[in-house]
Structure 1
Amino acid sequence: MKPTNPAPDGTASPASDHAVSSATFDQPGAAATQATHRNLILIRNFLGIIVVICAAALIFFAKEVILPFVLGVLIALTLSPLTRGLARHGVPPLISAGLLVLAVAATVAGGIYLLSGPVAEWIDEAPRMRAVLEQRLRAITSSLETVREASQRVEDIAASTEDSDVIKVAIDQPGIIASTALDIVTLATTAMVALVLALFLLASNDMFYLKIVQSFPSLTEKTRALQIVYSIERRISRYLLSVTLINAGLGVVVGCCMWIIGMPQPVVWGAIAFLFNFLPYIGSLAGVVLCAVVSLVTFSALSYAVLAPLAYLLATLIEGQFVTPVLLGRRLNLNAVAVFAAVVLWAWVWGVAGALMAVPLLVCLKSLCDHVPALSVLGTFLGDSSAPAARPAA
């Protein structure tokens, strides 16, 4: 820029006037651009919040539709490395997918058949078991009965002061047999839809991966999408297969301990330990409590009745503190608080099925956060403090 010289009469030259006017008009333009940029960021964040709220409402109210598809995708992600490995040895994906899905269905059906007899027997013996348990715990229940009677007196006094013309409406609830039958039908339908979807996904081999790659325009986005998909598949498969084998070993140990102690139906206790241990924290506690109740009803000596729940608790502690960390290593890298919160949240949303799928869904979210820079903060929060933070892919 050429320097401007003042006019002989002391006034500024026209070039100087133009520079001053340009600087004067550029400042409001820059401020307007920054304000527009901030407004766009606020609008984007607001739309993101709306999308999250709508997705949460859809997940909660469309449980019967979404749950089978999510379960089918998780089954397919777990078995896809096996299908791909068999394809390398000349086995067509359709045949390997059919065999794997049939194996899963046969295992689930066999487990249900194995547990149906003992569970039905426990239901028939429930009144007797309740009477025996109340007799064994009479010292504790007597104090609770006193509190209940006092509370009942307070309710009677409050009810006597109410207007006698008040109409009370009672809603008839379905019986336990009708509710159980409905739950069984719903569970069977969900499992069938999930297995059929998993069969289609496994039989298609890498077709959906190719569709994902074709959906992105640039090579960088295609690479990142494949990294995310393969990372989710690898983590889910390793986690679910490893946890299944660990829980099977735990079931064998618990069943042997119950057989040595003399608990009735030790095979059922092994199956209970296997199934309950898929629920982090909550499953082990529920198994110990159930074992304690049955042991108190079975054995007359209180000192001997404590052995069964102690053996169950010791087996789960060894599995949770030593076996699982050694075998899984740093494959999971999830915060314990995040795992517990996810289990509680999904149990509230989808019940027992949600609690079982909470950790696999959390693993999927962690894999997504590790490859998306915008979600790196959430990925750091979900990760274990002992593990280094994953660096998002560029």
Structure 2
Amino acid sequence: MPTDVTEVSKPPAQVPPPLVPGLRGLLTLAVGVVLIAALYFGREVFIPLVLAVLLSFVLAPVVNLLRRIKLGRVPSVIAAVLLALAVIGGIGAVIGTQVAGLAGNLPQYQATVQKKFAGLQQGWLGEANKVIQKFSHEVHDATQKADAAGTSAATGPSGDTPKAQLVRIQDPEISPLALAEKLLGPVFEPLTTVGIVLVVVVFLLLQREDLRNRMIRLFGSSDLHRTTVAMDDAAGRLGTYFLAQLGMNAAFGVIVGVGLWIIGVPNPLLWGVFSALMRFVPYIGAFISGILPVALAAAVDPGWSMVIATAALFLIAEPIFGQVIEPLLYGHSTGLSPFAVIVSTLFWGFLWGPIGLILATPFTVCLVVLGRHVDSLEFFDVLLGDRPPLTPVENFYQRMLAGDPDEVREVAEGMLKDRSLSSYYDEVALKGLQLAANDFARGVVTPAQLENIRSSARSLVEDFEGHDDVEPTVDAKAVNPSDTPTLAERAHTKTEAVPGQAPSRDDLPEAWRGEAPVLCLAGRGPLDEASSAMLAQLLRKHGLGARVTPYQSASRDGIRDLDLSGVAMVCISYLDITGNPSHLRYLLERLKRRAPGIPVLVGLWPTGEKVLTDATLGREVGADAYVSSLRDAVDACLKVAAGSSPEKGSPTLVRAA
């Protein structure tokens, strides 16, 4: 008889498919491609509008100045635009007259260049030229032989080849309208662009407040504060950049023009204006502007002294302006990294040509400002901004994980210039150690990496043994109150509170006069001993002796041998404690039986939403005091040392770091 067999259904073995971009990512990519294509194909429309917007930023201070002297809105705008038109027209007239004069002297310059090259050909350049010509002739002869062999094979033994026919191409007669278009087109097009820009500038300056309110209503009516701050930040950065850059470039052009006049290079006014305009192109614009003056100096001077002096003028002036004067005057006003400037210059130069080279920095500034105020666009600030991409906590953990205590100390010393040591330990070091402890609990940190973190933490504490825990003196003038913190900086605020100082040894109670009246007992976590070492160091800096002991010394087997001589208080440190804290409760029971008269403080260093949870745990374990920061742990020990013992059963609850 057939036997019924009950088969157990099992899910089929599946291989997870590879990750592919989601719908949102694809839509974002598509929108980005469409925007770039629109900017490229619509550049004839966008370039005048963008130039008008940027010119309005430059003319806005002039309009405000004229309005302060009671000139009125419309007359102030018209006067500012006429002033800009006069400046643009003057620059164009100077360039035109200088170019015309230069063109008239070109035959003379050509003769000088020919004589100079003739002299060079008699020297080493001539020898090199002979070698190149010989090589070229050999290549040419070999090519002719190969062509002859191919021709004979194609035409056969008779060698008949078709005769070449003379073809004459005659240009059609140009009509008067086409001739006028050919002559006036190159002039009419720039004039049209200038006219459009000036008309748009007039309306932008007349309706600034109305356009601002419309932008706020369109993009940020739900958060007026953030939108207003973002717009003010963008306007301030762009205005500062353009005014400072305009002044610096004008000064650079004046110095170049005067220097070329002293050297004797013809048309120094033309090259001064050209250098000032080219310097709007970051990094390379000033050096590119020096190519033509150097070439002209070579064409004018039969010798080489003028060429050397002209090249030295540009090679000395630009580094002084770029590396010394600009940082002193307005520093990093744009907030861009050098890499972002280079990439944006290449990108906008590809899209819009020479105009894009000039507009690259302002556009990138706008993107960085958006990234600093809009959460979903923060990647612009990370990629293009000049501020550190990692938070201090993330940087601390990353360097600890890599076993690089030197860089950790370097970053810490920079932070200690505007915060106390206890503030740094609470807000950076402890949180970084918590990240490491959490990753170790998840199994992503290897034992070797954990040992790197331990040794780096010990080294860091030892390095700051001689650093006092005091609030540093910060120059208020060096702090920009309008500077907008990053999203990471807003998540990790700075606390300035510093613990007090213990009274003199003679004023302390007898139990607190020993070498180490505070015993800092580490929890059973892998990095709790590091937090105990930080607490012990801060206690010593505030006048209370302290020593660190590992968790094993207070275990069930080690509690009998725990040295409590001279101990007036025990501080237990936990970076993290989750679940049922029974082991902490049993540890406190062992300590109470071993030393019933010694108060015990439990430090749980919570973050964010864990504050209330850890506070509840502190009550459950029955400690004499509970704190959530090293700062408050030092304050609690100082209070106990002064004689104000915390009431048992009422833990001292303080805010988290």
Q: TM-score, normalised to structure 1's length?
A: 0.77
User: 1:67 Cα shift?
Assistant: 0.7
Pairing 1:94-173 to 2, within 5 Å after superposition: 94-126=74-106, 128-130=108-110, 132-137=112-117, 138-139=120-121, 140=125, 143=129, 146=133
User: 1:125 Cα shift?
Assistant: 4.0
Is the CA contact (8 Å cut-off) linking 2:255 and 2:272 kept in structure 1?
A: yes
Q: Closer, same or farther in 2 for the Cα pair 1:85/1:257, shift >3 Å? A: closer
Establish whether residue 331 from structure 1 lines up as the match of residue 333 from structure 2.
yes
User: How far apart, in 1, do the equivalents of 2:146 and 2:341 lie?
Assistant: 44
User: 1:275 Cα shift?
Assistant: 1.6
User: How far apart, in 1, do the equivalents of 2:317 and 2:222 lie?
Assistant: 50
User: How far apart, in 2, do the equivalents of 1:86 and 1:211 lie?
Assistant: 25
Pairing 1:187-198 to 2, within 5 Å after superposition: 187-198=190-201
Pairing 1:203-282 to 2, within 5 Å after superposition: 203-216=206-219, 218-220=221-223, 222-282=224-284
Structure having the higher helix fraction is 1
Using the TM superposition, name which of 136-145 and 76-85 deviates more. 136-145
Is the CA contact (8 Å cut-off) linking 1:284 and 1:316 kept in structure 2?
A: yes
Is the CA contact (8 Å cut-off) linking 1:332 and 1:363 kept in structure 2?
A: yes
Establish whether residue 48 from structure 1 lines up as the match of residue 10 from structure 2.
no
User: 1:129 Cα shift?
Assistant: 3.4
Bigger relative CO (Cα 8 Å, ≥ 6 apart): 1
User: How far apart, in 2, do the equivalents of 1:190 and 1:270 lie?
Assistant: 24
User: 1:153 Cα shift?
Assistant: 7.0
| Aligned residue type for 2:189 | T
Q: Closer, same or farther in 2 for the Cα pair 1:309/1:234, shift >3 Å? A: same
Tell me the secondary structure at the aligned position of residue 112 of structure 1: helix
Q: Closer, same or farther in 2 for the Cα pair 1:310/1:224, shift >3 Å? A: same
Q: Deviation string for 1:95-120 (max 9, x for gaps)?
A: 22111111111101101101112212
Corresponding residue for 2:486? 391
Is the CA contact (8 Å cut-off) linking 1:101 and 1:199 kept in structure 2?
A: yes
Tell me the secondary structure at the aligned position of residue 334 of structure 2: coil
Structure possessing the higher radius of gyration over alpha carbons = 2
Q: Closer, same or farther in 2 for the Cα pair 1:116/1:149, shift >3 Å? A: farther
Q: Deviation string for 1:181-223 (max 9, x for gaps)?
A: 6443322222211111111000113001111222257531x33
User: 1:134 Cα shift?
Assistant: 5.0
User: How far apart, in 1, do the equivalents of 2:142 and 2:37 lie?
Assistant: 40
- From 62, 67, 74, give the equivalent of 2:54: 74
| Aligned residue type for 2:336 | L
- From 188, 194, 197, give the equivalent of 1:185: 188
User: 1:150 Cα shift?
Assistant: 7.2
Q: Closer, same or farther in 2 for the Cα pair 1:49/1:159, shift >3 Å? A: farther
Q: Closer, same or farther in 2 for the Cα pair 1:155/1:349, shift >3 Å? A: farther
User: 1:369 Cα shift?
Assistant: 1.5
| Aligned residue type for 2:92 | I
- From 292, 295, 299, give the equivalent of 1:293: 295
User: How far apart, in 1, do the equivalents of 2:50 and 2:30 lie?
Assistant: 22
Corresponding residue for 1:33? none
User: 1:240 Cα shift?
Assistant: 0.8
- From 54, 62, 82, give the equivalent of 2:42: 62
Corresponding residue for 1:352? 354
Is the CA contact (8 Å cut-off) linking 1:79 and 1:237 kept in structure 2?
A: no
User: How far apart, in 2, do the equivalents of 1:47 and 1:151 lie?
Assistant: 56
Q: Deviation string for 1:214-255 (max 9, x for gaps)?
A: 2257531x3332222222211111111111111111122112
User: 1:158 Cα shift?
Assistant: 8.5
Is the CA contact (8 Å cut-off) linking 2:112 and 2:302 kept in structure 1?
A: no
User: How far apart, in 1, do the equivalents of 2:140 and 2:85 lie?
Assistant: 50
User: 1:154 Cα shift?
Assistant: 8.1
User: How far apart, in 1, do the equivalents of 2:142 and 2:353 lie?
Assistant: 35
User: How far apart, in 2, do the equivalents of 1:342 and 1:151 lie?
Assistant: 44
Q: Deviation string for 1:255-279 (max 9, x for gaps)?
A: 2211221222222232222122112
Establish whether residue 305 from structure 1 lines up as the match of residue 285 from structure 2.
no
Tell me the secondary structure at the aligned position of residue 219 of structure 1: coil
User: 1:379 Cα shift?
Assistant: 0.9
User: How far apart, in 2, do the equivalents of 1:180 and 1:370 lie?
Assistant: 49
Q: Closer, same or farther in 2 for the Cα pair 1:257/1:210, shift >3 Å? A: same
User: How far apart, in 2, do the equivalents of 1:128 and 1:319 lie?
Assistant: 35
Using the TM superposition, name which of 184-193 and 291-300 deviates more. 184-193
| Aligned residue type for 2:229 | Q
Is the CA contact (8 Å cut-off) linking 2:257 and 2:272 kept in structure 1?
A: yes
- Aligned pairs, how many? 348
| Aligned residue type for 1:235 | R
Corresponding residue for 1:26? none
Aligned residues with identical type, % of pairs: 26
Is the CA contact (8 Å cut-off) linking 2:238 and 2:334 kept in structure 1?
A: no
Is the CA contact (8 Å cut-off) linking 1:333 and 1:387 kept in structure 2?
A: no
User: 1:305 Cα shift?
Assistant: 2.8
User: How far apart, in 1, do the equivalents of 2:142 and 2:58 lie?
Assistant: 56
Corresponding residue for 2:596? none
